[in-house]
Amino acid sequence: MGSSTTRRAILAALAVLAAVFLAGASVAGAARPAPTTAARSGASGGEAAAAAAHLAMYSEVVEKARETVEMFMARLPAGPSPKGPGH
């Protein structure tokens, strides 16, 4: 009799936990906001200019990251691994 009560308690706890996770998922926001409707529609004005400036800054960050990765890759030794113990 004790094990069925324990199973019911565990199932109830799991159900409550699932409900809390589902409620929290609806509250969570996006990590990066979506572009404004003006930027998507190609409208002119302050919003479109701000969106264009944001995209330009974002592309500069991506280019800088790409250059950094290329620099680190260039510093890696090329060629086969040395032969010997442990290789």
Within a domain: 52: yes
In angstroms, the CA 24 to CA 43 distance is 35
pLDDT band at 24 (very low <50, low <70, confident <90, very high): confident
Domain membership of residue 54 as a residue range: 42-76
pLDDT of residue 9: 92
Count of domains observed in the chain: 1
Within a domain: 9: no
Task: Enter the pTM of the model.
Answer: 0.32
Q: How many other C-beta atoms can be found within 10 angstroms of the C-beta atom of residue 54?
A: 14
Within a domain: 34: no
Within a domain: 72: yes
Within a domain: 17: no
Within a domain: 37: no
First to last CA, the chain: 60
At 30-72, the pLDDT tens digits run 566 666 655 455 555 566 677 777 777 788 888 888 888 888 8
The alpha helices in the chain, defined as continuous H runs, are: 2-27, 37-41, 46-75
Within a domain: 60: yes
